[in-house]
A and B are shown apart, each in its own frame.
Chain A
Amino acid sequence: MIALYIVAVIAVFAVIRATLEKNTGRKLPYVNVMNFAVAGAIVLLLDHPLALAAAAAYFVGSTLEANALASTYAGGDRRG
């Protein structure tokens, strides 16, 4: 179906822009677009309730990773 093609093309586009972007803080939104696309692709490829759980797990995992990257890039929490 056409939805899967659109999602895959958006993923490639976002990854190319992420690679070409020099600033780390601005790379992260492009990678976030790829994560949305991949989460959608999981469900579009396999129409099963567990695919929903897998998409949610992938998305939450990738968001947690981006959050950790962004906050370490920022300098982390000011502790003590």
Chain B
Amino acid sequence: MDDLVVLLFAAVALIGAVSVYFQRDRFDKLIALGIIYGGVVPFIAVRGYLDVLIAVSLIVPITTIIVLPLCRRDTRDA
């Protein structure tokens, strides 16, 4: 993997990580978590860990889907 491509996808992951901290809205934070994962994916792929990639690509969205109803319940209780 070329240095420039490494830099670009690392930038994606880092921008996502920084924006998770700075975003206020809960949905924006969840979106930023998804951006972090998207930035990390090419690094998993280029090493050949494709079975790991398939498994985690199913686990991460399911985690978000599990977290979402937890967010909704907070606003209704408040």
Contact = CB atoms under 8 A, between A and B. Distances in A.
B64 A68 contact: yes
B58 A57 contact: yes
A31 to B, nearest CB: 6
Interface in B8-35: 8-9, 11-12, 15-16, 19, 23, 25, 27-28, 30-32, 34-35
Interface residues of B, number: 42
Chain A interface size band reads 35 or more
Interface string B40-73: 0110011010110110011011101100110110
A58 B5 contact: no
Q: Classify the secondary structure of A's interface with B.
A: helix
B42 A24 contact: no
Contacts, number: 124
B53 A62 contact: no
B31 A58 contact: no
Contacts of B54: 50, 53-54, 57
Interface string A54-67: 10011001101110
Given A15-B39, A72-B72, 19 more contacts: A4-B5, A5-B8, A8-B9, A11-B9, A24-B25, A38-B38, A38-B41, A42-B42, A45-B1, A46-B45, A54-B53, A54-B54, A57-B57, A61-B60, A62-B61, A64-B65, A69-B31, A72-B68, A76-B72
